């Protein structure tokens, strides 16, 4: 069957990689229409990416298939001063990532819809060249390991969805979340070889990719409370994943790395027949996952239940979007996305690996409707440069107090395209 083959392709392609670091490490939006509006999509039913946004939207989405891909380009830099031979500045080498996504919806009847969304939830990626400094044993990377330094985390979620209209203008929906992720770390030999740092020194770094599977659920509501006003709400539980056994000496809870609980609220207002305004609020509870939220300064071994993590704080995200129906064939979009920076200055050293510090995103996009009624959609995003500075904890590996100054910084661009079949 045609759609089965497309779905299989997208699921496999999703494993090719993701390297997000926008709202923390979540994407700023899912689906190109949402991405063109700063990610605001909780009260929208314009496409089939409801499994990532609001499952209840499926009841209003009609029969459609959406196939898209985003070319994502993060630029990361880390530097250290005040520690003499340990001082350096280095850019991450990996700069371009192709991130596919897929959505399908089918109306069983006017009140019931079934569909599926396949998307890259987010990820962390860094790839710094080595040899910049000397930690006493020859050329080393920025964290005193050998060779290249970095991590690669990729997350794929498959979200089958069912939605039901409680009334003509109100719906509920549910999406079981089936997750796959893989991870590798390189260049962290200093964490491995320093006595007492890790609970399992063998499983810290340079172990190749490890796989993990998990599950969760997203539920949602959508209601047209006035002829021109639609509201939406969705909640996603923490996704429970198998541990990364090859990295049980690195991540807290013996290799645990779950996807954090998050929820979103949204409203869309059709201000005029041609102009729609949308506002979303999202909360991402990074602190609920020990390997992400535990402070890097925790006085425990890496890999222990309360072992050091990235120290990420919970974030509030605001997404603002506007779309203008310029003509019957062309719709224009613009948006703005603002999130808290999850990284505190105390945790800069660990977050050289995951410098998710950007806060503000500007977006543009459009949809062109073809003569057949199908759609081409494009979206562009620029995340403005931001940085965090703090005291280095690297001297602690040789028994000295933290000293020197480290800075991590990032900016991003992305350009995506999507084709939609209306059936």
User: What are 297-310's pLDDT values in tens digits?
Assistant: 998 999 999 999 99
Low-confidence ranges of the chain (pLDDT < 50): 1-17
Q: Is 5 exposed, middle or buried (0-12, 13-18, 19+ CB in 10 A)?
A: exposed
229-236 and 170-186 beta bridge pairing: unpaired
Extents of the domains making up the chain: 2-422
Query: What angle is formed at CA 121 by the lines to CA 117 and CA 123, rounded to 5 degrees?
Result: 155
Q: Which CATH class is domain 2-422?
A: mainly beta
Q: Is 397 exposed, middle or buried (0-12, 13-18, 19+ CB in 10 A)?
A: middle
CB 307 within 8 A of CB 301: yes
* pTM across the whole model: 0.94
Among 294, 176, 172, 315, residue whose Cα is nearest residue 240: 176
**Would you tell me how many other CB atoms lie within 10 Å of the CB of residue 376?**
14
Return the pLDDT at 20.
55
d(CA 361, CA 315): 15
Give the end-to-end CA distance of the chain in Å, rounded to a whole number: 15
Return the pLDDT at 21.
63
Return the pLDDT at 124.
81
d(CA 230, CA 196): 56
User: What are 141-198's pLDDT values in tens digits?
Assistant: 999 999 999 999 999 999 999 999 999 999 999 999 999 999 999 999 999 998 999 9
CB 176 within 8 A of CB 73: no
């Amino acid at each position: 069957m045609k759609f089965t083959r497309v779905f299989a392709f997208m699921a496999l392609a999703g494993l090719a990689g993701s390297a997000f670091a926008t709202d923390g490490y979540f994407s700023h939006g899912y689906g190109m229409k949402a991405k063109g509006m700063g990610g605001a999509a909780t009260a929208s039913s314009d496409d089939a990416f409801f499994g990532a946004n609001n499952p209840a939207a499926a009841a209003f989405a009609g029969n459609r298939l959406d196939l898209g891909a985003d070319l994502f380009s993060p630029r990361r830099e880390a530097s250290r001063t005040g520690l003499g031979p340990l001082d350096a500045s280095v850019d991450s080498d990996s700069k371009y990532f192709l991130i596919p996504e897929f959505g399908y919806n089918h109306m069983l009847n006017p009140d019931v819809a079934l569909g599926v969304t396949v998307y890259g939830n987010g990820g962390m990626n860094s790839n710094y060249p080595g040899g910049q400094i000397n930690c006493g044993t020859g050329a080393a990377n920025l964290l005193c390991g050998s060779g290249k330094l970095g991590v690669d985390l990729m997350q794929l979620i498959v979200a089958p969805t069912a939605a039901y209209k409680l009334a003509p203008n109100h719906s509920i929906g549910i999406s079981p979340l089936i997750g796959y992720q893989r991870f590798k770390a390189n260049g962290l030999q200093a964490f491995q070889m320093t006595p007492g740092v890790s609970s399992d020194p063998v499983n810290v770094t340079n172990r190749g990719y490890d796989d993990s599977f998990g599950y969760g659920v997203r539920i949602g509501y959508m209601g047209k409370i006035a002829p021109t006003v639609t509201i939406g709400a969705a909640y996603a539980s923490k996704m429970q994943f198998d541990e990364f056994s090859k990295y049980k000496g690195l991540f807290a809870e013996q290799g645990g790395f779950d996807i954090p609980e998050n929820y979103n609220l949204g409203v869309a207002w059709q201000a005029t027949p041609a102009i729609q305004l949308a506002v979303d609020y999202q909360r991402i509870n990074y602190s609920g996952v020990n390997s992400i939220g535990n402070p890097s300064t925790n006085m425990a071994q890496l890999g222990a239940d309360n072992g050091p993590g990235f120290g990420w704080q919970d974030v509030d995200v605001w997404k603002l979007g506007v779309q203008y129906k310029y003509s019957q064939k062309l719709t224009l979009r613009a948006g703005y996305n603002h999130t808290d920076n999850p990284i505190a200055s105390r945790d800069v050293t660990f977050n050289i690996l995951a410098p998710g510090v950007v806060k503000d995103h500007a977006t543009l996009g459009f949809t062109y409707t073809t003569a057949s009624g199908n759609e081409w959609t494009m979206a562009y995003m620029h995340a403005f440069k931001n940085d965090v500075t703090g005291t280095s904890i690297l001297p602690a590996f040789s028994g000295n107090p933290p000293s020197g100054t480290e800075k991590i910084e990032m900016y991003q661009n992305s350009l995506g395209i999507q084709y939609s079949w209306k059936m």
